[in-house]
Structure 1
Amino acid sequence: MISDLRIDEERKRMYYEKGYWGTSTLSDIWSSQSKKYAQHVYVKDTEGHSYTYGEIDQAAARVATWMKEVGVENGDIVTFQLPKWAEFAIIYVACLKVGAVMHPYAVRNTDQDLIETVNSVGTAVYIAPTFYHNRNYEMEYRAICGSMPNLKGALFVDRIASTIPGEVSLSCVLTNCEPLDEPSPSKSDEAACILSTSGSTGRPKQAVFTHNTILFSERAYIAPMGFTEDDIVWMPSPLNHATGFYHGLIATMLFGGCAILQECYSPESAVKLIREEGCTWSHGATPFIYDLLSYLDEHGGSLPSMRFYICGGAPVPSSMIEHASRYGILLSESYGSTESCPHVYVPLDKCLEWNGAWSGIPYEGIEVRVVDANHNEVPRGAQGEEASRGPHQFVGYLNEPERTDRALDSDGWFYSGDLCYMDEEGRIRISGRMKEIIIRGGENISCNEVDQQLDGCPGVGEHATIGAPDKRMGERICTFLVPKPGAKPTVESITEYLAEKGTPKRVWPERIEYIDRIPYTPTGKVQRFKLAAELLLRMREERNER
C-alpha cells in the first residue's frame, strides 16, 4: 500500500465540500458505466480487436480472479507494458477490480529498464505481450525474473501464441478463471495509478495519482467539450502517458464513448481509419494533426466527422489553426504536464478568435499563477514561472520525498519550470522553459541525457544539446559541438556510433552545428540560451539563402 501521499487535510476538506472529490472510486464509476453501456463498443484497435463495455467488464473480472489467486492485494502495484491494443482496457479494469495500483509502462523500454523500475516501485505483477515488434517479451522476462524478487506473478497477452512452457497467458486466464464477483476494496483517496515522467533530469520519476485526482482531472477535461456517448476518439498516442490512458480511455469511459487505438501510425492509415470509424475528436501532439492536414492537402478529401483536435506538448501556431479550420476542424491548445495534466485549455468557441495567441485558461476548480524566482506572484503581463494547484494534481513521486518537496510546496503549488505570462482576463501564454528539455512531438527529452550519450563519440569534443524549432515536431534534437582536430562528425556518423552502443533512437541528434566553443557561465553551466539564439540566427540565414 502506497502511504506517503501528499494530500493536505485542509485542501482535502475543501475539495470534498465543493464536490470536487467524493467517495466513489474509478472502480465504482466503471461498474456503473459498464452496466449502462454494456452493449456499446468501448475500445477498438487497428488489428481488428473490439470490445464492448460489457465484454471488457467480464474479461477484466476473470483477470482479476487470477490476480487474486497469485496474491495481489489492495494497494499492490501492477506494471503492464502493453502496446496500443484493446486488451490494455481489460488489464486496467482488472486492476481496478482488485484495488491494484495501475502502472502502465512504455512498451519500448528495455529489460534493464524494467528491472530497475520494477524493483524501485515494488511491482507485484508484470504483464506484457508474448511477442511484439520482433521482440520476445516472455524470453526477456524469463532471463531477468530472478532479478525482480518482489514479483508475485506474470501474465502475457498472447496474440502470438506462447512458445515458453510455464508462462501464464491471457487466453488461458479468460478460459479457465471464473469472473471475480466482489466489490473493489480500494478507497477514493488511495493511490490508483502511477505514471512515469522523465521531466528535465532524464531519470524517471513515478508520479502517483489517487482515484479522486484522476476523476476530477478527467471530469474537468470533458466538461467544456459537450461529449456524448456517440463521440469516438482517434487515439494515436501511447497508453502509458496521460494523453492516451487518461484522456483516451478514462475520459471516454466517463461519457460512454468509444476509443479507436491506432497501433502503427501513418497519416495515410490515420485518415482512412478516421473516415471508416467516424472519429469525432482526438488529443495528441502537433505532429499528428500536422501530418493529417498535409496529407489532405496533397491527396484531397476531408475528415467530415472530425470536429476538433486538442493539441498538447507544444504551442499551436496560428497558421496551423487556420489550416485546420479550412477542413472544418477546430484546434484547441491544451497545456499541462504529467503531474498537472492538463490544467489549461482553449475553449472551442475561442479557438479561432484567440488564434494561437494564448495557451488557454484554467479548468474550473484549478488555480494558476505566475511567479518569480522566490515564488512570489508577478504582475499581470510580466513573465515568470507557471505554477498550478488543484484537485487534479499528482500527490507525490513514489518513494522520492525530496523530489516531491522540490515540485510541490507546502501550500500545494506545483512549479512547472515553464515560463509564461498572464493577462488581466486570466489567460496564459507559455513563452519558454526553464527546464533543459526538448519537447519533440509531445515527448520530453532531456538535453543532459543526449549529451551524456555523446560523451566519447569519435570526433566530438565539447558539446551541448538544445531544441531546434520545427514546424511539424515542435522541436527536434540539435547538438552544438566543437569538432576534434581533423574530424568532421556528421549526423550520420554520430547516429551510427549511438546505434552501435545501443542508445535509444529517441535521443539521437537530428541536427549538428559546429561551434568554436561552448558558452558557459562562471560556475560551469552551459548557457543554452546563447546556443538557441545562435541557432535561430543560422536558421534565418538558411531561409534567406533559399
Structure 2
Amino acid sequence: MGFPLPNPERAAAYRASGQWRDDTLPDLIAASVRAAPDKVAVRDASGTSLTYADLDARSQRVAGFLAASGVGRGDVVTVCLPNWCETVVVFVAVMRLGAVVNPIPVTYGRAELSFVLAKCDSRALFVPGRFRSTDFTALLAAVDPALLAGRTIVRMGEGEATIGHSRAEALTHSPLAAPPALDADDPVAVLFTSGTESRAKGAVHTHNTIRFGEQALADALRLDARDVAFMASPISHTTGFMHGVVMTLMLGGSLSLLDVFEGHAAMRQLAEHRCTWTMGATPFLVDIVAALEKTGSSLPNLRYFLCGGAPVPVPAAQRAVAAGVRVMSVYGSTESPPHTVVHPQDPADKAWTTDGRPVGNIEVRIVSPDGRDLADGEVGEEWSRGPNTFLGYLGEPELTARDLDPDGWYHSGDLARRESDGSLRVVGRIKDIIVRGGQNISVREVEDYLCAHPAVRQVVVVGMPHERLGEIGCAVVVPHPGRSLTLPELTDFLAAKGVARFKLPERLEVWPSLPSNASGKIQKFLIRKALAETPDRSQP
C-alpha cells in the first residue's frame, strides 16, 4: 500500500522543535501499562472492565493472531466494531504490529464497507456478529466474494452465517513473539471522511501527527492520568478514536464507553464511572441535559462537555449551563483534528459565540478566494497548519494536492472569521456536505445513487436545519414525465444499494424543475430558501 509521506523539510523542523519525537503510540501506551498496571484502562456498558495489564495481555494475543494470519507492518486492518472494550484491544493490537488501523462506523452499509476494503486493500477485517438491528455476517454474505478473498475476517460474536474466525480464536492465540521495530513517522491510521466527492476519502495519520495533536488538546484542557473520559461518540470516528481511545491511553487515564446512546443511560454511566470530560455532537448534549432536567440529577465530576461538528445552538448551551454542565466548543476535521477549542479559563459564553482558540501553536489563517490573509472580523476560508496535520488522502494525490498545499496548509472548505482575541467562529461551508448528528454525509455520493433511480430525471440533496441532529438531508427530485416517487420508495432504493441508513434523505420534495443560472448550474441557495418557506409534505 503506497501511503503519502511526510514533507522532509517540515518533518525536520518539527523534530528540531521537539514537536515530533521518536516515541510511537504503542510506546506511550506501554508506559501507561508500566505506570499503573492495575488501573482501569477501559470499561463499557456491558460491565466489562479491563485494567492496563489486561489490555496489554489481550492486545498481545490479538497481535499474535494477526501476525500468524500474515498481517504485518504497513498492512491495513479495517475495524468495524462498536464502543466495546474488545474494540480498544483490537486497536492496540494493530498498532503493536506496525499495521495501520482503519476504523469505520458500524452504520456503514454494504456499499461503503466494500469501497473501503478495496480502497485500503485491507489485510484483515473485524466485525460484530450482530449489533443493534444489523447482522454483519449476513451483510458480509452479500458482499462480492472476490472482494473478501484473501482477507482475514474476525467476527466478534455470532450471526446467522459462519464467516471467518471467531472472537475466541483471536483472543486466545499465543502472544506476539517479537514486536517489530516501529518508526514514529510511519502511518498508523486511515480515517475516512466525507467531503464534496462522491466517495469518502481516507486521511492518513502517523504516530507523530496523532500524538502531537492529542497532547496539544490535552494540555489546553489540562487533562492527565487522573481524568476519566466518557465516549458515546463512536470510537470508529475521529472523535472517539483519537480523543477517546488514543488520548486516554497515552495519558494513562480511564475510558468509559457507551455503545448504544440514550440520554438517561448516558447520564447514569457518566455518574457511575465518575467521568470528568466527554466530547460529542450536539444531540448527545441535548439528550443528556434533558435527562438531567427530568430527573433533577447532576454530574459533579464532569468538568467539560466538548461539542464539535456544528455550532452549539445558544438555547442548548444555556440549558446545559443551567444543569451544571460546562460546554466548550471545539473545531477541527479528520485532516486537521481539533485545533481550536474554548479553553477552561475562557468565559462560559465563548461556547456559543466562538469555536475556540488554537492549541499547541497550530497556525490558523482566514483567507480570501484569491489567497490573501483577511483582517479580524472578515469572513474567508479557514486554513490550518501544524504537526497534527494529516499527510494526505490514501491513493488520492490529486485530492491531496487540492486540500493540502505545498506549504502544508490544509484548506478546510469552511467559512470562518477570527475575533480580536484569536478565537475562531465558523459561519458556513464551502464544501457541500451535511452534518447529521456529527456524521458527515457527502451530498454528491447520495445524489449519484439517486440519479440511477428509474423515476428520477434530476435530483439535488441539501441539508435542512434540525433541532436535535443539526441537519438532515432533503432530496429535491424532478421526475421523468409520467413518473412519481415517494419518500419510502426513495429510501428503499438507497437501502437496496447498501447505502448506510444515516445517509438516507429524511425529506422529499418533487418539483417540476430546479432553479439554475445562465450557465446551467443549479442554485442550491435558492432551493434551501424555498424549502425553508415550505412545510414538509413528504411525511405521512
Equivalent-residue separation in structure 2 for 1:139 and 1:478 (angstroms): 30
Equivalent-residue separation in structure 1 for 2:499 and 2:76 (angstroms): 29
Q: Residue 397 of structure 2 is aligned with which of 392, 398, 401?
A: 401
Q: Residue 306 of structure 2 is aligned with which of 281, 304, 310?
A: 310
Equivalent-residue separation in structure 2 for 1:124 and 1:357 (angstroms): 45
Determine whether 1:289 maps to 2:288.
no
Determine whether 1:477 maps to 2:473.
yes
Q: Where in structure 2 are the equivalents of 1:135-214 lying within 5 Å?
A: 135-138=134-137, 141=140, 146-148=145-147, 151=150, 153-158=152-157, 160=158, 164=162, 167-175=164-172, 177-214=173-210
Equivalent-residue separation in structure 1 for 2:438 and 2:448 (angstroms): 22
1:384-410 Cα shifts (integer Å, max 9, x gaps): 111111100110111111111111110
Partner residue, 1:231 = 227
Worse overlay, 440-449 or 332-341: 440-449
Determine whether 1:417 maps to 2:416.
no
Partner residue, 1:116 = 115
TM-score, normalization by structure 2 = 0.92
Determine whether 1:524 maps to 2:520.
yes
Equivalent-residue separation in structure 1 for 2:338 and 2:11 (angstroms): 20
Equivalent-residue separation in structure 1 for 2:30 and 2:323 (angstroms): 38
Q: CA deviation at 1:134?
A: 5.0
Q: CA deviation at 1:41?
A: 0.9
User: What is the letter of the counterpart of residue 403 of structure 1?
Assistant: L
Q: Does the CA-based 8 Å contact 1:331-1:351 persist in structure 2?
A: no
User: What is the letter of the counterpart of residue 438 of structure 2?
Assistant: G
Partner residue, 2:461 = 465
Q: Where in structure 2 are the equivalents of 1:85-124 lying within 5 Å?
A: 85-124=84-123
Q: In the superposition, relative to structure 1, how do residues 150 and 205 fare at CA in structure 2: closer, same or farther (>3 Å)? A: farther
Worse overlay, 390-399 or 194-203: 194-203
3-state SS, counterpart of residue 178 of structure 1: coil
3-state SS, counterpart of residue 336 of structure 2: coil
Determine whether 1:70 maps to 2:44.
no
Q: Does the CA-based 8 Å contact 1:478-1:509 persist in structure 2?
A: yes
Q: Where in structure 2 are the equivalents of 1:283-362 lying within 5 Å?
A: 283-362=279-358
Q: Does the CA-based 8 Å contact 1:123-1:150 persist in structure 2?
A: no
Equivalent-residue separation in structure 2 for 1:457 and 1:147 (angstroms): 27
Q: Does the CA-based 8 Å contact 2:298-2:323 persist in structure 1?
A: yes
Q: CA deviation at 1:28?
A: 0.9
3-state SS, counterpart of residue 460 of structure 2: strand
Q: Where in structure 2 are the equivalents of 1:5-16 lying within 5 Å?
A: 5=5, 7-16=6-15
Q: Does the CA-based 8 Å contact 2:289-2:319 persist in structure 1?
A: yes
Q: In the superposition, relative to structure 1, how do residues 226 and 132 fare at CA in structure 2: closer, same or farther (>3 Å)? A: same
Q: CA deviation at 1:105?
A: 2.0
Worse overlay, 488-497 or 114-123: 488-497
Q: CA deviation at 1:229?
A: 2.7
**Percent identity, aligned pairs only?**
35
Q: In the superposition, relative to structure 1, how do residues 508 and 164 fare at CA in structure 2: closer, same or farther (>3 Å)? A: closer
Q: In the superposition, relative to structure 1, how do residues 434 and 188 fare at CA in structure 2: closer, same or farther (>3 Å)? A: same
3-state SS, counterpart of residue 345 of structure 2: helix
Q: Does the CA-based 8 Å contact 1:139-1:164 persist in structure 2?
A: no
Q: Does the CA-based 8 Å contact 2:138-2:161 persist in structure 1?
A: no
Q: CA deviation at 1:203?
A: 0.3
1:421-449 Cα shifts (integer Å, max 9, x gaps): 11333221101111111111111112223
RMSD over equivalenced CA pairs, Å: 2.7
Partner residue, 2:4 = 4
Partner residue, 1:56 = 55
Partner residue, 1:27 = 26
Equivalent-residue separation in structure 2 for 1:71 and 1:481 (angstroms): 48
Q: In the superposition, relative to structure 1, how do residues 57 and 287 fare at CA in structure 2: closer, same or farther (>3 Å)? A: same
Q: CA deviation at 1:224?
A: 1.6
Q: In the superposition, relative to structure 1, how do residues 78 and 508 fare at CA in structure 2: closer, same or farther (>3 Å)? A: closer
Equivalent-residue separation in structure 1 for 2:436 and 2:161 (angstroms): 38
Equivalent-residue separation in structure 2 for 1:115 and 1:517 (angstroms): 35
Q: In the superposition, relative to structure 1, how do residues 432 and 86 fare at CA in structure 2: closer, same or farther (>3 Å)? A: same
Worse overlay, 107-116 or 201-210: 107-116
Equivalent-residue separation in structure 2 for 1:197 and 1:423 (angstroms): 28
Q: Does the CA-based 8 Å contact 1:122-1:150 persist in structure 2?
A: no
Q: CA deviation at 1:154?
A: 2.8
Partner residue, 1:219 = 215
Q: In the superposition, relative to structure 1, how do residues 281 and 491 fare at CA in structure 2: closer, same or farther (>3 Å)? A: same
Aligned length: 537
Q: CA deviation at 1:500?
A: 5.9
Q: CA deviation at 1:69?
A: 1.6
Q: CA deviation at 1:341?
A: 0.8
Q: In the superposition, relative to structure 1, how do residues 494 and 25 fare at CA in structure 2: closer, same or farther (>3 Å)? A: same
Gaps of 5+ in 1: none
Q: In the superposition, relative to structure 1, how do residues 154 and 521 fare at CA in structure 2: closer, same or farther (>3 Å)? A: same
3-state SS, counterpart of residue 374 of structure 1: coil
Equivalent-residue separation in structure 1 for 2:296 and 2:488 (angstroms): 35
Q: In the superposition, relative to structure 1, how do residues 425 and 188 fare at CA in structure 2: closer, same or farther (>3 Å)? A: same
Q: CA deviation at 1:379?
A: 2.5
Q: Does the CA-based 8 Å contact 1:407-1:414 persist in structure 2?
A: yes
Gaps of 5+ in 2: none
Q: CA deviation at 1:150?
A: 7.2
Q: In the superposition, relative to structure 1, how do residues 109 and 332 fare at CA in structure 2: closer, same or farther (>3 Å)? A: same
Q: In the superposition, relative to structure 1, how do residues 422 and 458 fare at CA in structure 2: closer, same or farther (>3 Å)? A: same
Determine whether 1:509 maps to 2:509.
no
User: What is the letter of the counterpart of residue 31 of structure 2?
Assistant: S
Worse overlay, 488-497 or 228-237: 488-497
Q: CA deviation at 1:514?
A: 5.8
Q: Where in structure 2 are the equivalents of 1:252-263 lying within 5 Å?
A: 252-263=248-259
Equivalent-residue separation in structure 2 for 1:80 and 1:359 (angstroms): 31
Q: In the superposition, relative to structure 1, how do residues 480 and 21 fare at CA in structure 2: closer, same or farther (>3 Å)? A: same
3-state SS, counterpart of residue 172 of structure 1: helix
Worse overlay, 382-391 or 98-107: 98-107
Q: Does the CA-based 8 Å contact 1:220-1:364 persist in structure 2?
A: yes
Q: Does the CA-based 8 Å contact 2:78-2:103 persist in structure 1?
A: yes
1:156-211 Cα shifts (integer Å, max 9, x gaps): 323x489738x432323433x33225344220011111111121223021110010
3-state SS, counterpart of residue 406 of structure 2: coil
Q: CA deviation at 1:108?
A: 3.2
Q: Does the CA-based 8 Å contact 1:332-1:351 persist in structure 2?
A: no
Worse overlay, 486-495 or 349-358: 486-495
Worse overlay, 445-454 or 375-384: 445-454
Equivalent-residue separation in structure 1 for 2:262 and 2:143 (angstroms): 34
User: What is the letter of the counterpart of residue 405 of structure 1?
Assistant: A
Worse overlay, 479-488 or 81-90: 479-488
Q: Does the CA-based 8 Å contact 1:312-1:333 persist in structure 2?
A: yes
Equivalent-residue separation in structure 2 for 1:456 and 1:71 (angstroms): 40
User: What is the letter of the counterpart of residue 356 of structure 2?
Assistant: G
Partner residue, 1:130 = 129
TM-score, normalization by structure 1 = 0.91
User: What is the letter of the counterpart of residue 37 of structure 2?
Assistant: A
Worse overlay, 127-136 or 401-410: 127-136
